[in-house]
Amino acid sequence: MTDALRALVDAVGLDVRYGDEVLADDDRWTLDLGATDSHVWVASSARTEVWIRRDDDVGVVVPGTAALVAPGATVTIGAGPDRSAPPSACDDWPAPTGVHWGTATFGPFVDEALGLAPSLRTEPLGAPCTDVVLALAHLRSLVAGRWHAAHRDALARVVVMSVVEDNPPAFLRDASLTRCIDRLLDSAGPVPIDDLRRGTGLSASTVRRRFRATTGCSPDELWRWFRSLPVRAALAAADADPAVVAAHAGFSTTGSMRRSLRRVRAPEVRVLSAL
């Protein structure tokens, strides 16, 4: 599932940025992150739980875990369930809280491909995530560095991907199809059914049936949809030139590209988790 999910994220597009670590001398504080155009991620390496609110939805980020919150709503994070004063710290001796946050910007087809809930956390709830713990430990050593922006962003991406990997789209949750879907999304062209099922112990009819039941698509339909994601994203750009997009994607004409895209059938994506 991990290989297929990472391929999906790459096809959709993801730009993760590190924001800051909350500095606060008081035990209780509330930081308004406002309403953003991007997802917001929050992670904690401290001993204190972090309360995250998205409009009326409230969840808790425990130490060693992370949350990802969708855009389009007002987001606050705090050291308690009740609203407190904004965090403040002495300039001479700032008090790090171990709470880090930043943004994650997905491509235009994130809902179609990943079906992310408005608010997600690493799983299982309440259990530290090894990748988040290690990423935050490295972030702590880089926060004061003047030239480490790219390194911080890379570690922030580890945090975001940890949340996404713990909340995959429904069609990647059938473990019996994991190897088939990994193989399909890694291929430059449609994969014959006998090659797709190789090593799985499944018959061709079983693979076809489970693909249809799990994704709503045949293997070939799923492959065409996956390959359409970067093409459609390029066409969605404000300055898109269809002829250039078609040539870059390997189509002989814009007409052949558009005919191919009209055949695309998206998988059935259901939102299964929330904060």
All CATH 2.60.120 domain ranges in the chain, comma separated = 2-168
pLDDT bin (cut points 50, 70, 90) of residue 140 is confident
- Crossing angle of helices 178-185/219-236, nearest 10°? 50
CATH of domain 2-168: 2.60.120
Beta bridge partners of 114: none
pLDDT of residue 26: 86
Instruction: Answer yes or no: is pLDDT of 117 > 60.
Output: yes
Q: What is the pLDDT averaged over residues 232-247?
A: 93
Task: List, for residues 148-188, the tens digit of each pLDDT value.
Answer: 788 899 999 999 999 999 999 888 888 888 889 999 999 98
All CATH 1.10.10.60 domain ranges in the chain, comma separated = 172-262
pLDDT of residue 240: 92
pLDDT of residue 144: 57
Q: What is the pLDDT averaged over residues 42-50?
A: 89
Beta bridge partners of 44: 65, 99
Instruction: Answer yes or no: is pLDDT of 52 > 60.
Output: yes
pLDDT of residue 139: 86
123 to each of 63, 107, 131, 268, 273, how far by Cα in Å? 13, 24, 12, 23, 10
pLDDT of residue 170: 83
pLDDT bin (cut points 50, 70, 90) of residue 272 is very low
Task: List, for residues 75-84, the tens digit of each pLDDT value.
Answer: 999 998 888 9
DSSP states of the chain: -HHHHHHHHHHH-EEEEEEEEEE-SSS--EEEEE--SSEEEEEE-SSS-EEEEETTEEEEE-TTEEEEE-SSS-EEEESSSS--PPP---SSS--EEEEEEEEEEE-TTHHHHH---SEEE-SSTTSPPHHHHHHHHHHHHHTT-TT-HHHHHHHHHHHHHHHHHHS--GGG--GGGHHHHHHHHT-SS---HHHHTTTTT--HHHHHHHHHHHHSS-HHHHHHHHHHHHHHHHHHSTT--HHHHHHHTT-SSHHHHHHHHHT--PPP-------
pLDDT bin (cut points 50, 70, 90) of residue 146 is low
Q: Which CATH class is domain 172-262?
A: mainly alpha
pLDDT bin (cut points 50, 70, 90) of residue 93 is low
Instruction: Answer yes or no: is pLDDT of 274 > 50.
Output: no
pLDDT of residue 175: 83
H or E element, residue 120 = strand 119-121
> What percent of the chain has a predicted confidence (pLDDT) above 90?
67
Instruction: Answer yes or no: is pLDDT of 226 > 50.
Output: yes
